[in-house]
Structure 1
Amino acid sequence: MVPGLRRYARALLRDATAADDLVQDCLERAISRWGQRRGDAVRPWLYAILHNLAINRLKQKGRRGPHMSIDGVPKGVFAQEPQQDHGLHQQDVLRAIDQLPEDQRAVLLLVSVEDLSYEETAAALHIPLGTVMSRLSRARERLRRILEDNEPGSIPHLRRVK
């Protein structure tokens, strides 16, 4: 009886693995509802259960779309870079920017974050253009040093105190 159910399930679903799962679900349902069968005709009853389960699966598949095994997916299709590191790096950068002197921080934020030109930054802060460029250069260098010092695995710089 089971080989016939498997053949019918494979013909309905056209997928051997899904058909085997369907037969198993059919047999489980039949056993759990054994007392609900009518008469002595078990075989047609099993085929009716199998057919109804198959129709339900096909409708469900139509709503959900095709199922793909995780083993059948090519590498890199669903893979993404972990996002936690980016968030941690952003927090490190924000903390480093907070450590900059106010004048350097203002120039760095206006040029790098707000995308103002050097001239617009000079006008906004009422300072000469050369001052904007030197503060920006010092801010970037200081920011780079702060971030390098805070990298995991970096060797701390020891100072000698007399």
Structure 2
Amino acid sequence: MTSNAEDIGAQLIAMLPTLRRFALSLTRSADKADDLVQSACERALANAARYEPDTRFDAWMFRIIRNLWIDRVRREKTAGPTDDIDDRPDLAGISGVQVVEARSTMQSVSDAIDALPDEQREVLLLTCVEDVSYKDAAEVLGIPIGTVMSRLARARRRLAEITGISGGTARSPADKDERR
């Protein structure tokens, strides 16, 4: 193993929870997310020589995961439908009012995020969940930073509508006109 691959290996280990969380947001399945992270780690290690140390490692890994996911989605479209564990309501969890309420809230937020167009969901998850800067999100997605900001604004507005959160007070005269 070369020194660069060892450095990448150490960074991968530190970043595994973040990578899994991002993969879960894309796949919506724990098993698929784990497979996606494993594939991304393998690809990163195999291509360690291509990593440029002056670039952000997390942005590089997010791009690898996203590209692998796009490839996998394209492949699965030709394979046909599969059953997801989330579609099995007969599988019981821990009982209790708090658990039910928490799951209900999480499900409504998850449904609201799922209802967003792919472009808006990707930007929202990278910037709000993974705390990637707008600039780095633009690089990961291959779009201008202004597009990142407008997609994020539309995603936030749509989530507020879907979840019933009020828009609050307008921040500018243009916002007031838009609300009328």
- Fold match (TM-score > 0.5): no
Name the one with the larger helix percent: 2
Higher relative contact order (CA 8 A, sep 6+): 2
**Greater Rg over alpha carbons, structure:** 1
TM-score by length of 2: 0.36
